[in-house]
Every structure is written in C-alpha cells, then in structure tokens.
C-alpha cells in the first residue's frame, strides 16, 4: 500500500499554491481540503475529488482516453531534471502535441510577433516510424500560443544553449526514447500509477485540463489538430460522469 501524498495543491485563477514539498509518491491519493468541483476557470477545482472519481469512468465508458490531472503531471515534471526531456514533457502537456509533432519542432517553429509567443505545429498522425518528408510537406499546421513566461524563457534558453540551425530538429531522439524516459521517470517518482502512462497520456491530459477550466470544445479541438469536433467530444465525459455539481441549486421539492 502506497503512502498518500502530503502536498496540498490548490488551483485558483490558474495559479498553483503548494504548502508542502513535492510528495514522495506521485500516484497515491492527494490529501487536501475539498472545495467542490466547478468546471469553470473562475472557480476552484477539487483535484482530490476528480482523482478519486476517475476510476468510475472505465466502468461507465469504454472509449474514454486515460488521462492525468494537473497535480500528477506537475509531480512528474518537477522530478525531471534533464533539460531536453523536461522540455519535451512540457510541450506535450502545455500544448497538447503528439510526440511525433514535438520531435519535428525546429527553432523556426517558435513565433514571437510582439503580440503572442507560441509554436507552429505540423499536424502529424501516424503509425510507427519517423514521418516521411512527403508526409511532413502535406501536413496542415496549427499555431499554439504559450502564455507562461517562465516556460517561454526556458524554451528560449534551450534554443540559445543548443545553438541550433533554424531548420534543425531541436530534439534529436526517437519516440521510443521519449517513451523509455517516461517509464524511467515513473519508476523514479514511485507509487502505483493508476494506469499505463505514455507519451499520448500528456496530450489527453491537456485536453481534459482545458475542458475542466471551461474552454470551448471547438477551441480545444483546434488546438489538438482534430479534423472534427466529434473527435474531441470524448473528453467531455470527464465533466458529465461527475454530474452532481451540475444539479446543485436545482430544487425538486
């Protein structure tokens, strides 16, 4: 039996407040005050409640992708000390990119026009192996804004330290290497993961995270590079399955 997390992590207006050190175990239950789930960016999200109720999803839905919640992702990110591997994880989590899309990023992919900083991704959905030059040329592109100033600084520092050419891939590794590093990180943080965690878990977690903060489904779909909103709708189940909060204030008697 794993020890519970001792961190008390709350999210309010998109800012994390941690009153204790990073917990030893990543995948044990969080111990924090319950404040009620409010799927809107103006409210406070009760991560404990969502983590406790997550096992109910597979019992009621067969198609719901496996996802982590913010406190769990942050524990993994904070445990990663290698600059390249940390940046790869951050990009999959913060922009919802597929690992194949992240591995095609070059310095020229990042845009800073004085208004927005972000990255242009080539939308790549593929099987095993590296995408061909022809498939890359045909790939549609999408722009993902990055608002976090600290994250912007880390990206720019990584590019400066690497002295990459504008058309050079900044992550010269394979998808298999990224997956192996995630497995190593899971072992490092300890505890018992709720399910098998891989590269795509971060993309699913990104989508769920935006919906928990009340972002429009169409917007989330565009950021993910889905051809249709119908492909994105599966993530809304994270709101519907825990529907008690929707009925608060509705009087039947």
Q: Is the distance from CB of 77 to CB of 86 less than 8 angstroms?
A: yes
| Phi, psi torsion values for 145, nearest 5 degrees | -70, 145
Domain ranges in the chain are 9-247
Best CA proximity match to 159, nearest among 215, 110, 204: 110
C-alpha span between 227 and 221 (Å, rounded): 8
Q: Which residue has the tokens 């497995």?
A: 183
Q: Is the distance from CB of 162 to CB of 170 less than 8 angstroms?
A: yes
Amino acid 217: pLDDT: 94
C-alpha span between 28 and 63 (Å, rounded): 24
Average pLDDT over residues 24-42: 50
91-126 pLDDT per residue, tens: 999 999 999 999 999 999 999 999 999 999 988 764
CATH assignment of 9-247, among 1.10.443.10, 3.40.50.2300, 3.40.50.11540, 1.10.10.10: 1.10.443.10
Amino acid 134: pLDDT: 54
3-state helix, strand and coil shares in percent for the chain, rounded to the nearest 5:
45, 10, 45
What is the residue-averaged pLDDT of the chain? 81
159-205 pLDDT per residue, tens: 999 999 999 999 999 999 999 999 999 999 988 888 999 999 999 99
Q: What are the tokens at 88?
A: 């790869």
């Amino acid at each position: 039996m794993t020890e519970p997390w001792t961190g008390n992590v709350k999210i309010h207006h998109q800012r994390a407040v941690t009153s204790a050190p990073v917990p030893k175990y990543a995948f044990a239950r969080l111990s924090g005050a319950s404040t009620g789930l409010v799927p809107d960016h103006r409210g406070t999200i009760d991560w404990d409640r969502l983590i406790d109720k997550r096992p109910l999803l597979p019992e009621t839905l067969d198609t719901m992708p496996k996802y982590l919640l913010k406190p769990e992702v942050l524990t993994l990110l904070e445990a990663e000390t290698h600059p390249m591997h940390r940046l790869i994880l951050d990009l999959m989590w913060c922009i919802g990119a597929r690992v194949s899309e992240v591995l095609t990023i070059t310095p020229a992919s990042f845009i800073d026009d004085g208004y927005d900083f972000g990255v242009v991704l080539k939308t790549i959905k593929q099987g095993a192996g590296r995408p061909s030059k022809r498939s890359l040329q045909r790939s549609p592109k999408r722009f993902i804004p990055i608002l976090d100033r600290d994250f912007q600084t880390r990206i720019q520092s990584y590019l400066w330290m690497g002295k990459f050419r504008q058309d050079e891939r900044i992550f010269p590794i394979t998808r298999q290497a990224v997956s192996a590093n995630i497995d190593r990180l899971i072992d490092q943080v300890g505890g018992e993961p709720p399910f098998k965690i891989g590269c795509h878990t971060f993309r699913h977690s990104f989508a769920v995270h935006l919906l928990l903060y009340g972002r429009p489904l169409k917007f989330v779909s565009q950021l993910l590079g889905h051809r249709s909103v119908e492909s994105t709708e599966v993530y809304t189940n994270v709101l519907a399955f825990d529907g008690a909060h929707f009925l608060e204030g509705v009087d039947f008697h």
